[in-house]
Amino acid sequence: MMPEVEINNQLMRLNLGPSHPATHGTLRIFVKLDGEFVEEMKLEIGYLHRCFEKMSETHTWTQVIPFTDRLNYCSALMNNVGYVMAVEKLLGVTITKRCERIRVLLCELSRIVDHLVCIGTNAVDVGALSCFWYFFRERENIYDLFEAACGARLTTSYTRIGGLMSDLPDGWIDWCKKIVKQLPRTLDDVDGLLTHNRIWIERTKGVVKISKERAIDYGFTGPCLRACGVDYDIRKVHPYYDYDKFDFKVPIESEGDTYARYLVRMAEMRESLKIIDQALEDIPDGEVNISDWSIVLPPKEAVYNSIEGLMAHFKLIMQGIKTPVGEVYSYTEAANGELGFFVSSNGEGRPYRVRVRPPCFAIYQAFPEMCHRQTVSDVVAGLGSLNIVAGELDR
């Protein structure tokens, strides 16, 4: 303990962020320290608030899709899927099997990317730089796949209400198989570097812990909840897109600390690979879009050569999709946990309200409690493992 602290009997105040390298985004953490230990912590969020929900109300249903990319930008595709799924639920439409399968495939690739980023940067924060390079090489490869499918690496906007922007390009499946094949080796490499690494274990085991009961009380979902020993994965308990037909396990750890969250994410990536392998085996043939022209744009040939096609195209662009009066809540298992979209329509062509339930909003709230009597360096290690993405937190 520092002598001045004892003499003055005062706690030292320290401000981290909002633009601190370890916060990976604009988060402000304000701590009162007793020596090196956190006595009190306050959080300030909102630095990345871009009025997503307000903006959605002034755009058509389809125009909201690009905004969803900017929520959790580490796994934009999962936000795209989560949002369009909510609108499809409101419309009561069923998408094609091929579209479902492609969405599953891209969601699982996104989950892997998200976990790669999370573990990679978490390791950098505690001083292990090499894992970051191993992981980011794979991330770039997967981003190449996304780019080939939709033209963008980060801000994908690939889904459309009732389908996808376009079908996968020729040769994509084989390319994907090739890239996915390399992943286990990278995971083994990082596994070898971290899992039994004395320094990594000392820096993460028992650090920034939360109990099962508190995690549920705070509304934890996703890997952070499963690291506390709760078996809750929406893909298993409320399956969507035929997730119940895939053979995969839900990794569970019981400690609820940074190390447990690391183990869960590592295991989850291997499970996602299993799903991808099965999904790549038989992608159903057929169309990716439903054939209702009041929801999806007609094919270009129809727009240029028929009056019906032209009118459908014009009405959809100018007036948007007409949704029935009602409210629905739709939820998917995103990389961080339950990503929920509540959409409300009063029967006009625009959303009346789009509410997103970002998984890390609930998780980050528990951070001061988790950090009590931990050191400042533990705060940094713990923060990385919670995978707080400011875009999603502040919306």
Q: Which residues bind another protein (CB under 8 A)?
A: 28, 30, 42-46, 49, 51, 53-55, 57-58, 89-90, 92, 214, 216-219, 230, 232, 237-238, 325-329, 338, 340, 342, 344, 346-347, 352-353, 355, 357, 361-362, 365-366, 394-395
Minimum CB separation of residue 290 from another protein in Å reads 17
Smallest gap from residue 355 Cβ to another protein (A): 5
Distance CA 272, CA 181 (A): 13
CB 60 within 8 A of CB 348: no
Identify which of residues 92 and 286 has a Cβ nearer to another protein in the complex. Answer: 92
The residue behind tokens 């931990």 is 374
The span from the CA of 151 to the CA of 137, in Å, is: 19
Residue 61 CB, shortest distance to another protein, in Å, is 16
Task: Give the C-alpha separation, 126 to 12, whole Å.
Answer: 23
- The least distance separating another protein from the CB of residue 101, rounded to whole angstroms, comes to 23
Q: How far is the CB of 176 from another protein (least distance, A)?
A: 32
56 vs 204, which CB is nearer to another protein? 56
Cα four-point dihedral sign 189, 266, 334, 284:
positive
As given in the structure block, the two tokens for residue 382 are 């713990």
Query: 194 phi and psi, to 5 degrees?
Result: -110, -50
Contacts of 89 (CB under 8 A, 6+ apart): 328, 330
Task: State how far the alpha carbon of 25 is from the alpha carbons of 254, 358, 389, in Å.
Answer: 29, 16, 7
Nearest to 125 by CA among 259, 22, 266, 18: 22
Closest to another protein by CB, 317 or 325 = 325
Q: Are strands 337-345 and 12-16 parallel, antiparallel or unpaired?
A: unpaired
Q: How many CB atoms lie within 10 A of CB 185?
A: 11
Instruction: List Cα–Cα distances, 233 to 95, 226, 243, 392, in angstroms.
Output: 23, 8, 11, 20
In the complex, minimum distance from the CB of residue 71 to another protein, in angstroms, rounded to a whole number: 14
Longest distance between any two alpha carbons in the chain, whole Å: 85
Nearer to another protein, 298 or 358 (CB): 358
What is the closest distance, in whole angstroms, from the C-beta atom of residue 232 to another protein in the complex?
Answer: 6
Q: Choose between 191 and 292: whose C-beta lies nearer to another protein.
A: 292
**Residue (13 or 181) nearer to another protein, CB:** 13
- Nearest CB to another protein, comparing residues 143 and 352: 352
Q: Which residues contact 68 (CB under 8 A, 6 or more apart)?
A: 76, 79, 80, 82, 83, 157, 356
Nearer to another protein, 202 or 213 (CB): 213
**CB of residue 212 vs another protein: minimum separation in angstroms?**
10
